[in-house]
Chain A
Amino acid sequence: EVQLVQSGAEMKKPGESLRISCKASGYNFTTFWISWVRQMPGRGLEWLGRIDPIDSYTKYNPSFEGHVTFSADKSINTAYLHLSSLRASDSAVYYCARGSGLRSWFDPWGQGSPVTVSS
């Protein structure tokens, strides 16, 4: 079974940094991109960007570039989302999802990692 399992809920203070993991199983990790999607409380879905695990090539949504970074460790089939200088508006659920680059839908999705940023 193809599966993406994410790290758990996080509570952070403004200004801190955060890393969320997304571990893939059930397929060849290097043959599909991993996208990251944000869902703010009661809101819709926003694409943050994607990473190609085979060479860690990244494509960021310009709206989020500079605030998020992606990395991947193909030795352990895991992708990471890094958030720096956290602010309250970063409070959201973050999802990883499998795709195949440009012009690709997302399937499956990870279970989501809730993040709360509060002083």
Chain B
Amino acid sequence: DIQVTQSPSSLSASVGDRVTLTCRASQDITTYLAWFQQKPGKAPKSLIYGASKLQAGVPSKFSGSGSGTDFTLTISNLQPEDFATYYCQQYNSDPPTFGGGTKVEIK
């Protein structure tokens, strides 16, 4: 199975900040990477697919980049509703696997 590692596991930021989350795959997955946002007690919500393509309806403050094994999710102008846990997922090969998540907390 492809291992997916996210860093950091948590970070503290202030409203208005710009943050960058990192995701690394254990082998080349080209751009078969998605990012999800999950709030406590809620289902994951798709943000990005294809490493950099914004899911319909997701604000442009979210942006993804990367290819191969290294990827980033950047969130600009953090707002209270953005504080959540973010997961990346590779879907290059079965089984799809998820990173352990990055929890973005209010400083």
Contacts and interface: CB of A to CB of B under 8 A. Distances in A.
A47 B34 CA distance: 14
Interface in B90-107: 91-101
Given A61-B95, A105-B89, A105-B91, A110 B43 contact: yes
Interface in B60-107: 87, 89, 91-101
Contacts of A106: 34, 36, 44, 46, 89
A49 B95 CA distance: 8
A104 to B, nearest CB: 6
A112 interface: yes
Contacts of A66: none
Contact of A109 (B43, B49, B91, B93): B43
A105 B46 contact: yes
Contacts of A45: 44, 87, 89, 98
Interface residues of B, number: 24
Interface residues of A, number: 24
B49 A47 contact: no
Contacts of B95: 47, 49, 61-63
B94 A59 contact: yes
Contact of A107 (B46, B97, B99): B46
Contact of B94 (A102, A105, A107): A102
A77 interface: no
B96 A47 contact: yes
Interface in B7-64: 32, 34, 36, 42-46, 49-50, 55
Contacts of A105: 34, 46, 49-50, 89, 91
A118 B92 CA distance: 37
5 contacts: A35-B96, A61-B94, A106-B36, A107-B49, A111-B43
